[in-house]
Chains A and B, each alone.
Chain A
Amino acid sequence: MPEIVSTTLFLLVNGLIWGLIVALIAIGLSLIFGVMGIVNMAHGDIYMAGAVLSFYVVSMLGSFWLSLVLVPAAIILIAAPMERFVLRPYEGYHSTTMIATVGISFIIQQIALGTYGGIPKKITNPWPISFNFLGVDYPGYRFLVACISILILAGLWLFLYKTSYGILVRASMQDREMASAMGIDVSKVLITTFVIGSILAALGGVLAAPINQVFYLMGNDVILLCFIVVIIGGLGSLKGTLIAALSLCSLEGVLASVLSPVQARAAIFIVMIIVLIRRPRGLFTE
């Protein structure tokens, strides 16, 4: 197989897998927006928290797999009170809540800085083998990431479409007042949604940690990417977010080999502007 094709294939697959991780995070963001109407500016920092917590689990307990279980548990303990006691009081005032999440973002970042420190560190690769696929040497861990992400997404889909609780969440996404009028306990739905959205971001962090370095500011770059993804896919549209994440990350991945990373990001930005001009609500919302 010619070099250029195999390199492009490699980058494409890399991009798709990164896109799966970004999809998890962005879907979490979209879900929170769809049900609560707020843009959680601290979402990227929850991703970071997931990565940092995973680092601690791995260094103290030695197992990456454990972190996949323990980190979400820890996030529930953080996110649930956050929603209930910090965000709920601003209920209804969207701009205010968004700025409040900026405040939370500062707090989380500084706590991470204080405890974890300002030096980027790496988590050792939990599955350091490589596959050979179509003549390309592929890291096994990334393949694992793909499987786990797809499993998580499938689980989310099952939850939203097959469980009664999931139906409540979707109903609240459609029309909150109607849901409340129909006797649905909206406050439970709010907490559940916020927690699920945050867990998704945190899991994204856990999965990304062995690939990227764990750094207290890593949330900022990811949140920018998530924002671009939800703008193009459409805030509140989970399908759109998934498709946008996969397409944009693979595109950026391939472009970054030809152009510089910044130029690749610029290209994505321009794509976003074009989409926005034609469809101000993203490609997949009505």
Chain B
Amino acid sequence: MNGRSEKPIEKRETPTYLVLIFLVLLLVMGMVLPKGARSLVTHMMIFCILAMGYDVCFGLTNQCSLGHAVFFGAGAYGVVLSMLHLKVGILPSLFFSLGTGFILALIMGLICVRLSEAYFVIITAIFFAVFHLFAMDLTWLTGGDDGLSLNLPPLSLGPVTLSLYHPMVNYYFVLIFLGISYLILNRMARSPMGKIFMSIRENEKRLQFLGYDVFRYKLIAFIVSGIFSALSGGLYALTLRYASADFFSFPWSIMPVVWCLIGGIGTLAGPWIGVVIMSLFQYYVSAWWTYYLILFGIIILLILRLSRKGILGYLISRRLTQKA
């Protein structure tokens, strides 16, 4: 009896082929879309990476962090500061992004992960608020909320030299990272580590009695989450050619939560649905009503009422219970 032929059904994930189809669609759209739409989609793709990264923490291991703005902002500044002060190129700057994300997630994780649920939420919130405060205050370093602008050097990949100033190049640059991030995280979710994460979500205490040091795995999930969130911050800074203290502000901490809740926590690509819906919503509704945030709050309440697992999670569990 070969394990390969009897794959245990992993129902919680979005079917991979659907995601791959979506990525191909994005590939094609890049050539077809008009300028404004292409820019919006580029931003959405960056948010998808952020949402996915957050889902590792919130969806896979049930750690409701409100502090991910720290990683997003740090990732952005990792790019900007390394380029401004160390004069590195585009790809190396992203390494700085990832490195900063890793270190911050490690430190924050060591302090926060072992805390119980409510304390974890509060203290991650405190972290981002304090980082925001520092970022606004240390204007010599961060430019405060005016921020720091970048001049992007050209990106040389072997014989080819590209410029991210060209919107198409920017688009595909981000798309490649989105694809790679998805493949890595998808693989991780299906690996033994991913199964462990899932079990943490299902019943953390039981897992301890099955011989796992749960703290260690929650920490790993938190760090992975931080790294990908920082990556998205770095890409955002490259796309906007700019980073400001606003990147540490509350929306960047709460939006990933909303994306995951709308799209489906624990499904990795489900939050992409949340990104699309909320981005379109913000884009169109904020144009005709300045108080659109009220609708935003109402949407949060309604979605949570419908299912605490988000739209996709709700659909998936409907399918599962119907099969039984």
Contacts and interface: CB of A to CB of B under 8 A. Distances in A.
A contacts B directly in the complex (CB < 8 Å)?
A: yes
Interface of A: 33, 37-39, 41, 86, 89-90, 93-96, 98-100, 102-107, 109-111, 113-114, 220, 224, 227-228, 230-231, 235, 260, 262, 265-266, 269, 272-273, 276-277, 280-281
A96 B308 CA distance: 6
9 contacts: A39-B122, A89-B305, A96-B308, A98-B118, A102-B254, A106-B293, A110-B294, A224-B130, A265-B130
A219 B250 CA distance: 13
Contacts of A269: 126, 130
B314 to A, nearest CB: 13
A262 B133 contact: yes
A277 B137 CA distance: 26
Given A86-B301, A99-B261, A276 B118 contact: no
Contact of A281 (B119, B300, B305): B119
Nearest to B62: A95
Interface string B40-72: 000000000000000000000010100000000
Contact of B119 (A100, A260, A280): A280
A103 B297 CA distance: 4
A103 B254 CA distance: 10
Given A96-B304, A276-B111, A276-B123, A260 B297 contact: no
Contacts of A98: 64, 118, 121
Interface string B95-119: 0000000000000000100111111
Given A94-B118, A107-B298, A227 B126 contact: yes
Interface in B286-324: 291, 293-294, 296-301, 304-305, 308
Nearest to B299: A103
A103 B137 contact: no
B125 interface: yes
B70 to A, nearest CB: 13
A230 B111 contact: no
Contacts, number: 108
B121 A39 contact: yes
Contact of A106 (B111, B123, B257, B296): B296
Nearest to A263: B137
A104 B254 CA distance: 13
A115 to B, nearest CB: 10
Nearest to B115: A280
B125 A113 contact: no
A106 B300 CA distance: 10
A227 B125 contact: yes
B261 to A, nearest CB: 7
Given A262-B133, A269-B130, A280-B114, A231 B257 contact: no
Given A114-B291, A227-B122, 20 more contacts: A39-B122, A89-B305, A90-B305, A94-B117, A100-B300, A102-B297, A103-B299, A104-B297, A106-B293, A106-B297, A110-B291, A220-B250, A227-B125, A227-B126, A231-B119, A231-B123, A235-B122, A262-B136, A265-B133, A266-B133
B300 A103 contact: yes
A265 B137 CA distance: 12
B97 to A, nearest CB: 24
A257 to B, nearest CB: 17
Contacts of B250: 220
A111 B294 contact: yes
A251 B123 CA distance: 20
Contacts of A265: 130, 133
B242 interface: no
A39 B115 CA distance: 14
A209 B294 CA distance: 25
Given A235-B118, A273-B111, A105 B297 contact: yes
Contact of B134 (A102, A224, A231, A266): A266
Contacts of A280: 114-116, 119
A100 B117 contact: no
B129 interface: yes
